[in-house]
Structure 1
Amino acid sequence: MFDWDDLRHFVALADTGSLSAAARRLRVEHATVARRVAALEAAAGVKLVDRRSGRYVLTAEGRRVADHARRIESEALALERALLSRQSDFAAEVSISAPPQIAVSLITPRLAELKQAHPQLRLRLLGESRTVSLPRREADIAIRLTRPSDTTLIARKAGVMAYSLYASKEYIASKAEKDFEFIAFDESLDESPHQLWLKKHAGERPIVFRSNDLAILAAAAQAHMGVAVLPSFVAESGNLQRIETEDRFLKRDVWITYHQDMRDNPAIATTAAFLAGCFRQDRSAADKRTLIVLEQGC
């Protein structure tokens, strides 16, 4: 008899191709994934993966097992969501995935309000830049800056995040605009809207510093390293100065998403409504360079 946890770890490895990626998806140590897959191979009595230079390639038998295991996983997760959707109380844990700076600056400061209104509710707030799988319940609710294409997800627009070019006052005072240097995300985000917007404004001027973390970019701008494109709420909390451009702002939609099977779960619905409130600001405030322009509520 196969152990379901062994199958679940094998599916993650089959989907991602590496122990580290599978471990990130399952939020376990990579050694746990390796042990679980080895246990499944021992139970099945066949080799399921070939190990090649750090990558794991499925054997023919492994591909057949993975196809069956994915169907089992899909049915198990559907059953789990169906049971959770019928829970009528708030004695549950709701996990929220959000970009780190949004989690730190916009959501965490207001969590006490939600806890006071619903003391039985338990929360797990995950600050992460990757796109989590809501059907697999890697999180219950996700804050995203692009609308998901998955038709099984409910996506509600919470507002619009405003980005601009920022630098320290000392940097702006010390250089002519033609000599500005730029701070950017690393190459993994080169096609993101805010990275493309920065490159358009930088033109032929150099990018002298890169990072995969928004907080590091803001810290580099505060350290007078150059000009960065940042959300207004991040830049203003660091006492950075906005650089005037013809188009003033880049605006990105903020979406609150969760699986449609969970729409009737009171803990999920209440948490989603709370998150919408974290983003709600009026238009006049946004014109004064605050963080979110509310165009429509959840």
Structure 2
Amino acid sequence: MQTLNWNDLRFFLAVARGGGLMAAARRLEVDQTTVARRLAALEAAIGARLIDRSSRGVTLTGQGMALVEHAERIEAETIAAAARLGVEGQPLSGVVRLATPEAFGAGLVAPAAKAFHDKYPGLQLELVPESRSVNLSRREADIAISLSRPTHGRLVARRLADYTLGLYASRAYLEAHGPLRSLADLPGRPLVWYIDEMIDVPELRYLDQVADGAPTMFRSNSIAAQQAAVASGLGFGVLHKFAASEDPRLVRVLPDALDLRRSYWLCVHADQARIPRVRAVMDFLSEIIAARQKDL
């Protein structure tokens, strides 16, 4: 095996993180041909294929996954060396991909996008607000907000915030059909809920705590769609307090009887935690939570 070139490793990391050559080219502000050439040179130096290509993008081979860990350690040491030699004051630049649950991303991160850009104009934040779990070890994201503490992988995790889920209905629905006296009456009312078989996060399975057997009139794994359906007057739904309280069409119902508490965990791969642009996003998330703490 030939001596590895750090520049080639840098291009390989961009491909691994972006999921394709085109995404890597955008991150590095070069053309796709340059990325392909650098990757080919690295594979030739190692003597092994690092990625498998398909119409859906690229996936890392076993050798590629092993190389990512070493390349990220080299990247972290390079950044640490630059900081020690006085280069730390340079403006942050690059791309950070943040994966979050939908409500967290749309309700907390997106409204702070301008503030983030004003503070870090050289950083591009990629927000992936989905219900499914992401694999940080496979570099599906740089940072993830999870509903539980991860138990596998070389991950650094800390509890970011607790939040409240409550039962809501629209003012129009309550005026037309009357108030709900107790949770025992909920099975006789229409309920908006998740598509059970498509939930892969255990913390979202709490129907039995609300009204087991209640008729569901509308199902969606998008919490934003659920909130919109409840606000339209369809029936009741369990929504995030920090999002639903900002919608004047919605009223919280039986807050003393139903007050679900869940937690957001901030997770990052151990090799990523020292990278300044990643740390900047982590710190900014903490600032968002501090500013919105009373709403959660």
Given the two structures, how large is their TM-score scaled by the length of structure 2?
0.68
Instruction: Show the counterpart of 2:290.
Output: 280
Contact 1:84 1:262 in 2 (8 A): no
What residue is the counterpart of 2:230 in the other structure? Answer: 221
- Secondary structure, counterpart of 2:99 in structure 1: strand
**1:267 and 2:254 aligned:** no
Structure 2: stretches of 5+ with no match in the other structure: 1-11, 22-58, 84-89
Who is 1:212 aligned against? 221
Partner of 1:276, secondary structure, is helix
The residue number in structure 1 matching 2:260 is 250
The answer to whether the 8 A contact 2:131-2:201 is kept is: no
Task: Decide whether aligned partners of structure 1 residues 78 and 223 sit closer, same or farther in structure 2, where only a CA change above 3 A counts.
Answer: same
Match of 2:203 among 184, 188, 193: 193
> Cα offset for 1:105?
2.0
Question: Which structure 1 residue ranges, 4+ long, deviate > 6 Å from structure 2?
Answer: none
Please say if residues 77 and 135 of structure 1, whose CA atoms lie closer than 8 Å, have aligned partners that are also in contact: no
Matching residue of 1:123: 125
1:147 alignment partner in structure 2: 149
Question: 1:151/1:191 Cα in 2 relative to 1: closer, same or farther (>3 Å)?
Answer: closer
User: What residue number does 2:99 align with?
Assistant: 97
1:282 Cα deviation from its structure 2 partner: 7.4
In the TM superposition, residue 262 of structure 1 has moved relative to its aligned partner by 1.8
Distance 1:279 1:78 in 2: 30
Q: Structure 1's 169 and 190: CA in aligned 2 closer, same or farther, altered over 3 A? A: farther
1:48 maps to which residue?
none
Shift of 1:116: 2.4
Deviation at 1:263, TM superposition (A): 2.1
SS of the residue corresponding to residue 261 of structure 1 reads: coil
8 Å CA contact 2:172–2:233 kept in 1: the answer is yes
Q: Percent identity?
A: 26
Q: 1:112 matched to which residue of 2?
A: 114
Structure 1 position 181 matched with structure 2 position 210? no
Paired residues of 2:132 and 2:201 also in contact (CA < 8 A): no
SS in 2 for 1:254: strand
Deviations 1:222-243 (A, max 9, x none): 1111111010122123221111
User: Structure 1 pair 199/27, CA: closer, same or farther in 2 (3 Å)?
Assistant: farther
Following the alignment from structure 1 to structure 2, what is the Cα–Cα distance between the partners of residues 191 and 142? 14
Cα distance between partner residues in 2 of 1:171 and 1:182 = 12
Q: Who is 2:4 aligned against?
A: none
State the Cα RMSD in Å.
3.1
What per-residue deviation string (whole Å, max 9, x for no partner) do you get for residues 20-74 of structure 1? xxxxx9479xxxxxxxxxxxxxxxxxxxxxxxxxxxxxxxxxxxxx9x942x022
Distance change in 2, residues 1:175/1:258 (3 Å): same
SS at match of 1:104: helix
Distance 1:191 1:267, change over 3 A: closer
Greater shift in the superposed pair: 214-223 or 260-269: 260-269
Residue 103 of structure 1 and its aligned partner are, at CA, apart by 1.6
1:11-26 matches, within 5 Å, as 26=19
Say if 2:133 and 2:201, in contact at 8 Å, map to a contact too: no
In structure 1, the residue matched to 2:135 is: 133
Q: Distance in 1 between matches of 2:201 and 2:268?
A: 25
| Unpaired stretches in structure 1, ≥5 consecutive residues | 1-7, 13-24, 29-65, 293-298
SS across alignment from 2:64: helix
Structure 2 letter corresponding to 1:267: R
Does residue 156 of structure 1 match 2:147? no
Distance 1:171 1:112, change over 3 A: same
Could you tell me whether the CA contact under 8 Å between 2:146 and 2:265 is conserved in 1? yes
Change (3 A) 1:100 1:282: closer
Displacement of 1:182 in angstroms is: 0.9
Matches of 1:190 and 1:167 in 2, distance apart? 26
The verdict on how the C-alpha distance between 1:27 and 1:164 changes in structure 2, with shifts beyond 3 A counting, is: farther
**What one-letter code is carried by the residue in structure 1 that aligns with 2:96?**
V
Q: Which residue of 1 aligns with 2:66?
A: 75
Partner SS state of residue 135, structure 1: coil
